[in-house]
């Protein structure tokens, strides 16, 4: 070993083993904190693999599955496939015998986290979402009303109209939300229009269809859709417009890409830039804020609660707010809800999403609203794939 490494190795081991309070930013894996073991003698194997579980070692890293009353249940993964694998080794150990490792995820509220909007602002929100085979609309504190049969709605920022994929029709339908009427059907070549999004000023509408991204100028009543990008693979999804409305954000299982409205690539970032986890899923989201260029709403797979893992047989999901200026993130949603399909309110102060609670087993997705600082979590009833606008 070179002399410099011989000097550094004891210092590194001392850092890993030295007791200290939990760091403000911690390393996470699958949404769970990762710790280094300080005192392995305090660990006790638990669970189905107790007889096979080897002793923990000083400096060994473990994933924390549960914390309660100063004690943690930690996991040493065996590498076998499957979320919540029964073959993983589990141990109960005092938190004082563990050390948090530095990472990107804040445990406490970071200074950059925006304040929520004043109370009552949400009363002007109009949300469209999927209710079975229907597009439903939620507004004015009234029960949801059905709008039309279809899928994957998008609401304009001023809540004046909704765009969705209509059942039994080819194309994209635009329907006014402020009054009666079936609206207009926009012909779309290829298959069903999938992800749809309005620009923050409401002047443009973009959607993904048939390995391409189309764009419509909403300010010109005679405008026809034009193709911005072609040749997308099956893993690429449309995430939204940047706050200036001049770029589109796309993501796949490996990277997030910013393109201008001519289709030119302006930035590419690996998805590991936004959380501590470099892996991804086609169901993940990396949605730019409609008002703050540095903020990104991240939805990604995480480990679920033991209750969720017992019946779901799949990973859970969580929402994070990522701050590009600091390169750090903050988790917005609790572990007991698998949070998917998020969308911003136009003022960038609230997030709507679909959530699957870990209890009761095999329940329904519900719509939730949460403030941008993680406060004010509200269950709005059953629904999926929301989009929201705000009346002026």
Point out the domain boundary residue: 76, 103, 130: 103
Does residue 250 contact residue 215 with C-beta atoms inside 8 Å?
Answer: no
Both 216 and 362 in a single domain?
A: yes
Both 305 and 163 in a single domain?
A: yes
Both 252 and 142 in a single domain?
A: yes
Q: What is the pLDDT of residue 215?
A: 97
Distance between CA atoms of residues 30 and 135, nearest Å: 33
- DSSP H or E segment with residue 154: strand 145-155
User: Would you call 96 helix, strand, or coil by DSSP?
Assistant: helix
Both 265 and 148 in a single domain?
A: yes
Q: What is the pLDDT of residue 22?
A: 54
Both 175 and 208 in a single domain?
A: yes
**CATH number for the domain including 92?**
2.30.30
User: Residue 113 domain-assigned?
Assistant: no
Both 63 and 138 in a single domain?
A: no
User: Residue 3 domain-assigned?
Assistant: no
Q: What is the pLDDT of residue 77?
A: 86
How many other C-beta atoms can be found within 10 angstroms of the C-beta atom of residue 137?
23
Q: What is the pLDDT of residue 80?
A: 54
Q: What is the pLDDT of residue 11?
A: 45
Point out the domain boundary residue: 72, 103, 134: 103
Question: DSSP string spanning 37-83?
Answer: ES-GGG-EEESTTTTTPPPP-TT-EEEEEEEETTEEEEEE--S-SST
**CATH number for the domain including 178?**
2.120.10.30
User: Residue 108 domain-assigned?
Assistant: no
Tokens 């049969």 correspond to: 149
Point out the domain boundary residue: 36, 70, 103: 103
pLDDT in tens, 100-145: 999 999 999 999 999 999 999 999 999 999 999 999 999 998 999 9
Both 96 and 134 in a single domain?
A: no
Question: 210-215 contacts: CB < 8 A, separation 24 or more?
Answer: 213/238, 213/248, 213/250, 213/263, 214/188, 215/261
Both 163 and 61 in a single domain?
A: no
Both 92 and 136 in a single domain?
A: no
Question: DSSP string spanning 348-362?
Answer: SSEEEEEEEESSSTT
Distance between CA atoms of residues 230 and 282, nearest Å: 19
Distance between CA atoms of residues 61 and 369, nearest Å: 35
User: Residue 252 domain-assigned?
Assistant: yes
The DSSP bridge partners found for residue 146 are 136
Q: What is the pLDDT of residue 6?
A: 52
Both 180 and 300 in a single domain?
A: yes
User: Residue 271 domain-assigned?
Assistant: yes
From 34, 97, 106, select the one nearest 65 (Cα to Cα).
34
Both 85 and 174 in a single domain?
A: no
User: Residue 204 domain-assigned?
Assistant: yes
User: Residue 131 domain-assigned?
Assistant: yes
- Which stretches in the chain have pLDDT values below 70? 1-22, 79-85, 180-181
Distance between CA atoms of residues 296 and 156, nearest Å: 20
Both tokens of 17, joined, read 């083993």
How many other C-beta atoms can be found within 10 angstroms of the C-beta atom of residue 38?
19
User: Residue 84 domain-assigned?
Assistant: yes
Both 79 and 203 in a single domain?
A: no
Q: Which pTM value belongs to this model?
A: 0.90
Number of folded domains that form the chain: 2
Q: What range defines the domain where residue 80 resides? A: 11-103
């Amino acid at each position: 070993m070179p002399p410099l490494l011989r000097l550094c190795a004891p210092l590194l081991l001392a850092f890993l083993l030295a007791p200290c309070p939990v760091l403000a930013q911690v390393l996470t894996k699958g949404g769970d904190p990762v710790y280094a073991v300080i005192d392995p003698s305090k660990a006790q194997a638990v669970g189905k693999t107790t007889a096979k579980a080897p002793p923990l070692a000083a400096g060994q890293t473990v994933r924390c599955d549960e914390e309660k009353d100063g004690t943690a249940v930690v996991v040493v993964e065996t590498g076998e496939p499957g979320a919540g694998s029964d073959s993983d080794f589990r141990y109960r150990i005092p938190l004082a015998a563990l050390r948090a490792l530095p990472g990107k995820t804040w445990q406490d509220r970071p200074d950059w986290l925006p304040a929520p909007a004043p109370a009552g602002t949400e009363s002007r929100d109009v949300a469209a979402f999927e209710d079975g085979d229907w597009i439903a609309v939620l507004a004015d504190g009234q029960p949801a009303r059905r709008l039309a049969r279809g899928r994957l709605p998008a609401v304009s920022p001023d809540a004046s109209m909704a765009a969705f994929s209509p059942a039994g029709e080819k194309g994209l339908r635009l329907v006014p939300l402020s009054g009666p009427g079936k609206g207009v059907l926009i012909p779309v070549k290829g298959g069903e229009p999938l992800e749809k999004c309005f620009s923050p000023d409401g002047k443009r509408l973009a959607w993904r269809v048939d390995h391409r991204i189309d764009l419509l100028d909403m300010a010109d009543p005679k405008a026809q859709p034009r193709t911005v990008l072609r040749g997308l693979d099956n893993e690429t999804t449309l995430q939204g417009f940047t706050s200036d409305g001049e770029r589109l954000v796309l993501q796949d299982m490996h990277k997030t890409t910013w393109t201008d409205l001519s289709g030119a690539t302006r930035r590419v970032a690996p998805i590991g830039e936004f959380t501590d986890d470099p892996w991804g899923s086609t169901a993940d989201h990396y949605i730019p804020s409609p008002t703050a260029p540095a903020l990104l709403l991240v939805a990604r797979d995480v480990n679920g609660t033991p209750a969720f893992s017992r019946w779901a047989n799949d990973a859970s999901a969580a929402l994070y707010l990522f701050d590009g200026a600091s390169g750090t993130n903050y988790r917005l949603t609790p572990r007991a809800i698998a949070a998917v399909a998020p969308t911003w309110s136009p003022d960038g102060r609230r997030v709507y999403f679909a959530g699957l609670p870990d209890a009761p087993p095999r329940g329904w997705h519900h719509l939730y609203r949460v403030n941008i600082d993680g406060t004010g979590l509200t269950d709005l009833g059953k629904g999926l794939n929301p989009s929201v606008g705000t009346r002026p």
